[in-house]
Amino acid sequence: MLSLCISFAQNEKISFNETVHDFGVIGFKDGKVSCNFVITNKSDAPLVISDVKASCGCTTPSWTKEPIEPGKSGTITAVYNPTGVAPFSKSVTVYTNLSNPVTLHIKGEVVNGVSVNGIQLPSKDYVEALGDYALKTKTLDFGRVGAGELKTFRLDVFNKSDKPITQKVQKLPKYITVNFSEAAVPAKKEAVVEVTLDTKIAGLYGNLQGEINLLLNGVSYAFPYSATILDDFEKWLPEKRVNSGRINANFTQIDFGNFSKGYSRTIKLSNSGKTKLNIRNIQLSNPLITVSKKQFSVNPGEIEGVTITIDKAIVKSALSSTLTIVSDDPSTPLYDVAITAKP
């Protein structure tokens, strides 16, 4: 029947730009979609569209009511209102004074989703778009990861465009690997990207943040990642947890004031636990601040000093930073200290 309709549509008196329109994937929550079929009068007499009938109530047609002169064109608009989540195929039949009735078809697939940036997606879970490359998350958060653990994050992606999207990565840190299920994501298809964090790298403790540089069809996009790497306390025996080292710091803020007492301060850390306390890392959120040491141990009952210095040659305005002490104290593995100054 379809081939018969096409032969009618492309006869010597009238023609259409297309007789089948594919909407592709559309979101149910986005509501109505429409398309225009262009009809051209190839005869020597005026063309009159007398009626257009839809195959169901979910499709509403409208059309050019005025006579279409020879060589000119008119339109038949088909508006489809989704009634459920499923593939669909509907038709409208066009009646004219120059030909037998011609049936035009619309089709597509309705999914239980919405669109991102006006592009229909197969799922409402796609919340981030890098061009035509859609993802189900805005950031890659590994969460809390045990030191020495290998953790993989699965990224579901979708190609919104009508052409394949090649996907590569650039300049990965040595502790991250990326594997693509496909070198190129086919048009209107989903794919999987697996990102693996290897925390076996020595000294990889504390809050980890960075960006994965995705190369999509040759265009670079930065996609952020984060993780918090600590000792894997869940694997510790109860006895080890009870007898572990305990960080003891009686301060939560260091105020340099106006630097009247200089640009360095020494903080003291003690261990009130029963075994050695290991300071895994000391992190600073401001590059103008440095510490004298980042990794060391404190024996039970002992005190260790750490010197904090602000670069006086660079600091020009009020400064605010956070110093994070990462240790193997299971009760306080992260100890934050606020640092302020007013030059």
Q: Does domain 243-341 have CATH number 2.60.40.10?
A: yes
pLDDT digits (tens, 9 = 90+) for 242-260: 999 999 877 889 999 888 8
Pairing of strands 59-63, 49-54: unpaired
d(CA 113, CA 128) in angstroms, rounded, equals 14
- C-beta separation of 251 from 266 below 8 A: no
Whether 200 has a pLDDT exceeding 50, the answer reads yes
- Confidence band of 4 (pLDDT split at 50, 70, 90): very low
125-230 with 243-341: one CATH topology? yes
Domains of the chain by residue range: 2-111, 125-230, 243-341
Percent of the chain with pLDDT over 90: 66
Greater confidence (28 vs 306) lies with 306
Q: What is the mean pLDDT of the chain?
A: 88
Q: Give the pLDDT score at 284.
A: 92
Whether 223 has a pLDDT exceeding 60, the answer reads yes
pLDDT digits (tens, 9 = 90+) for 115-136: 545 555 566 678 888 998 999 8
CA distances from 24 to 78, 110, 147, 187 (A): 15, 9, 46, 11
pTM > 0.85: yes or no:
no
- C-beta separation of 289 from 309 below 8 A: yes
Whether 335 has a pLDDT exceeding 90, the answer reads yes
Please tell me the CATH code under which domain 2-111 is placed.
2.60.40.10
- Confidence band of 211 (pLDDT split at 50, 70, 90): very high
**Class level of CATH domain 125-230:** mainly beta
Whether 274 has a pLDDT exceeding 80, the answer reads yes
- Confidence band of 203 (pLDDT split at 50, 70, 90): confident
